[in-house]
Each structure stands twice: as C-alpha cells, then as structure tokens.
Amino acid sequence: MTQLKNISSSLESIVYALSNITKLEYAIFDVKSNLISCTPLYLKYKGKNVHKASIEEVLYQGNVVVNKPGYMKSCTG
C-alpha cells in the first residue's frame, strides 16, 4: 500500500482543486491521525493536530459529514 506521505504533493493538488470547485475546506489524515494535506484555511483554523477520536470515528463509520467541526460527539474530551 502506498504511504500517504509519499504522495502528499499529489494529494495537496487534489485538495486545492476540490476546494476551488466546491468552495469547501478539506483535510486528509492517515490512519494514525497525522495530517497529510489540507486547505490553507483549514490549517489556519485547526492547525496540524487533530482530536484523534474524531478521526477514529470516521474510520469506524466509513464516512462522516462534518457540518460543524469541533462539535461532533467524538470531539468531546
């Protein structure tokens, strides 16, 4: 399996393109909750650290739409 860090440059291009098309913010994390790529605004407001429980919830559920970042049940704690 390709390590996400090895393709972070390509992922950054994809994140920027998606953000420009959709006018949404994006972030990509690996299974250890490490930030791989994100939009500049995401980085400005959230930084490089993430509450690991919220990433684990996404991995467990398969996908999660976050309408209010920081207010998920898994963000508590």
* DSSP-derived secondary structure for 7-32: GHHHHHHHHHHHHHHH----EEE-TT
How many structural domains compose the chain? 1
pLDDT at 64 over 80: no
Question: Is 70 strand, coil or helix?
Answer: coil
Structural domain harbouring 40: 4-75
Q: What is the pTM of this model?
A: 0.76
Backbone angles phi, psi at 32, to 5 degrees: -100, 15
pLDDT band for 56, please (50, 70, 90 cuts).
Answer: confident
- pLDDT (tens digit per residue) in 9-19: 999 999 999 99
